[in-house]
Structure 1
Amino acid sequence: MTLNRQHFAKFQSLIALVVLCIVLSCLSDKFLTVDNGWNVMRQISVNICIAVGMTLVVLTSGIDLSVGSVLALCGAITAGLMKNGIEVHSSNLYIGFTLLGAILAGLFTGAGVGAFNGFAITRFKVPPFVATLAMLTIARGLTLLWTQGFPISVFGEKFGYIGTGWFLGIPVPVWISAIVVLTAVVITMKTPLGRYIYAIGGNENAAKLSGINISKVKIIVYSMAGALAAVGGLIVTSRLDSAQPNAGISYELDAIAAVVIGGTSLSGGKGTIWGTVLGAVIIGVLNNGLVLLNVSPFWQQVVKGGVILLAVIIDKANSKSE
């Protein structure tokens, strides 16, 4: 790959974002406004949390299609425990949950589901695509069982602050996503776990021969992806003041799009968290622009699918040129 092409490949996502913003600002006078800017930031905060977890998985040459359903399940469990607690009729026992207790339960549920994905993939050698596709259906079914198909609503101002509050002039969801991003950057760039993740994605056999515990690392990575999906579920549930049984549908599409557009290779071993953040911003700006332009939701799906396909084609072209 020539030097000029290397520079272009490095900054192509940023260039795409700038071009997209220029086009949308010309087509809509509402795009470049402060209110719309914060609206975009709040919207992408959920996708950033999910996409960061997806990035860690993809770096190991895996995929997690269950994150949308896990988001819904964790949000529903948190809401249900906070509002109704747990009743054991046979023992005439009622267990109530504080706000913190319900939130921790949701986060542990997400991590547990992710760990199960990792265990199925490593212990039984189920392909990640198949294992997480199965979990997509399982988690959605568990959500419907937990909620009986009805929304769980009204939780109070304290929980609502997570999704709608402001801190130091910045929306709380943006702070949460920033903490998630910075933590993931430290993990991937400054810790042995991060080096193991890249090593496994680059060459799993070589990583195994070098003494890396492949199964342990993958289970940790899928657990982190599940926990971050749970964080997204908390934000969504708080913002809506309601846990919807159908929450998170197609969220995995936006997460994968952010990862691929951000330059992470689907083959594993190459990519950055910052690239994924940029990809999430592009997806968020694209979604926002299509809404402002009154584009049909059906066409929005077509456009996003085309963007993902284009990003994969560019990634493959860059890989062949290296």
Structure 2
Amino acid sequence: MNKANTIRPSRGGGTFQFFYKYGTLITILLLIIFFGAMTDSFLNYTNIISILRSISIVTIIAIGLTVSLAVGGFDLSVGSTASVANALVMSLFVWHGQSIGVSLAITIFFCLIVGLVNAFLVINFKIQDMLMTLATMFIFQGLALTYTRGATISQNMIMPNGDFATGVIPKAFGNLGKVPWIIIIMIVVVLLVHIFLTYTKHGRYMYMIGGNVEAAKLSGIAVSKYRLLAYLISALFAGIGGIILASRVMTAEVNAGGSYLMDAVAAAFIGYSVLGAGKPNAFGTFVGAVLIGILSNGLVMMSIPYYSMDIVKGSVLALALAITYYKRKH
């Protein structure tokens, strides 16, 4: 009797561990089989490339969010930061006729300032990261709207004085948002952050801070410095995401980056359980983005109404959070 009682929990625990570790990958495989059987062109090479292209911007933004999660933070302003970058880089081309180098440098610089502001407010005022970045999310979103005056920035647009904008978007810049470069940039970002978080002492320090701040302080780790670094990296990749978005659509829409926040958050939290990591990680975030991309693409191919997509994405995120926090408590 006692023997049976000791076996059952281990079996149940073993089953949960298996699905916790491989559940996301199994789900992706099942979705591929399902959508492949239900539609004629889902498994086509062109569609696979389309999925990878569609998740590239989300993945880059989510990777930045992942780094902030690694130190126990939560940067909700990544979508607004992407909007700022999107508007700024396009305006430098169209309004001011700047070169690629100057435009990218100025845009990245301003995004790093955004990260610096977030870090300063979070670290010095000791307000919970999620609440403070929720506030700055609205601030940066408002800055982007004010800067563009709520208008879409595009080549040959009509300026407030009635003249046409004379700036030209460089052809080379447009190539960044096309295959294969947009996919290559995504892969490079994932690999770099994976190596940084997994194989460098700085990444390990970030995980230590995220796991236990007080223990990290007692170990002599410069907690404030690494939290600052995390928010700078988060803003940097959000900015890169906004730049790639601009190169992909060749315009700057109003609050263009805001729609990427939910998908980025979902991808990052889904990634917690990939291969049993139990913590924010670059590879898991990429897998989470792939899952969301496959879901979105497959549902569109099955003619599911676009307005029901958020129900599916929200359900996937809720399930990922439930599994993650259940695992932490058991």
Q: TM-score, normalized by length of structure 2?
A: 0.88
Pairwise CA RMSD: 1.7
- Taking the TM superposition and a 5 Å limit, the aligned residue runs for 1:133-282 are 133-154=134-155, 155-164=169-178, 166=179, 171-263=180-272, 270-282=279-291
1:63 pairs with 74, 84, 107, which one? 74
Q: Which one-letter code corresponds to 2:54 in the other structure?
A: Q
Instruction: Report 1:31-42 matches (<5 A).
Output: 31-42=42-53
Cα displacement (A) at 1:255: 0.7
Q: Deviations over 1:33-62 (max 9, x none)?
A: 111111111111111101111111112221
Q: Mark the CA change 1:291 to 1:269 in structure 2 (over 3 Å): closer, same or farther.
A: closer
Task: Name the amino acid aligned to 1:35.
Answer: T
Q: Which amino acid aligns with 1:24?
A: F
Verify the 8 A CA contact 1:188 1:194 in the aligned structure 2: yes
Distance 2:153 2:173 in 1: 13
AA at the equivalent of 1:65: L
Identity across the alignment (%): 37
Question: Deviations for 1:57-109, whole angstroms, at most 9, x for unmatched residues?
Answer: 11222111111111011111111112222xxxxxxxxxx63111101111122
1:300 Cα deviation from its structure 2 partner: 0.6
Structure 1 stretch displaced more, 108-117 or 171-180: 108-117
Asked whether the 8 Å contact 1:197–1:269 carries over to 2, the reply is no
Q: Name the TM-score, length of structure 1 as normaliser.
A: 0.90
1:90 is matched with none
Per-residue Cα deviation, 1:198-248 (whole angstroms, up to 9, x for no partner) = 000111110011111111111110111111011111111111110112202
Distance change (3 Å), C-alpha of 1:41 and 1:50 = same
Higher strand share: 1
Deviation at 1:317, TM superposition (A): 2.1
Given that residues 21 and 273 in structure 2 are in contact (C-alpha distance below 8 angstroms), is that contact kept between their aligned partners in structure 1? no
Superposed CA deviations along residues 272-293 of structure 1, whole A, max 9, x for unmatched, are 2111111110011111112112
Q: Verify the 8 A CA contact 2:118 2:133 in the aligned structure 1.
A: yes
Does the CA contact (< 8 Å) of 1:58 and 1:264 recur in 2? no
Q: How far apart, CA to CA, are the structure 1 residues paired with 2:149 and 2:172? A: 26
Q: Tell me what 1:101 maps to.
A: 102
Look up the match of 1:91: none
Question: What amino acid is aligned across from residue 107 of structure 2 in structure 1?
Answer: G
2:33 to 22, 33, 43: 22
Contact 1:57–1:64, Cα closer than 8 Å, also in 2: yes
The gaps in structure 2 that reach 5 residues or longer are: 1-9, 156-168
Which amino acid letter does the alignment assign opposite residue 219 of structure 1? L
Instruction: Give the residue type in structure 2 aligned to 1:26.
Output: A
Contiguous gaps of at least 5 residues in structure 1:
86-95
Shift of residue 8, structure 1, vs aligned partner: 3.0
Matched pairs, number: 304
Q: Which has the larger radius of gyration?
A: 2
**Counterpart-to-counterpart distance in 2, 1:281 and 1:3:** 26
Aligned pairs for 1:47-86 (under 5 A) are 47-85=58-96
One-letter amino acid of the counterpart of residue 126, structure 2: K
CA–CA separation in structure 1 for the residues paired with 2:278 and 2:202: 13
The whole-number CA distance in structure 1 between the counterparts of 2:273 and 2:246 is 29
Distance in structure 2 (CA, Å) of the matches to 1:218 and 1:43: 30
Is this contact kept in 2: 1:24–1:31, CA < 8 A? yes
Shift of 1:4: 4.8
User: How far apart in 1 are the matches of 2:299 and 2:170?
Assistant: 33
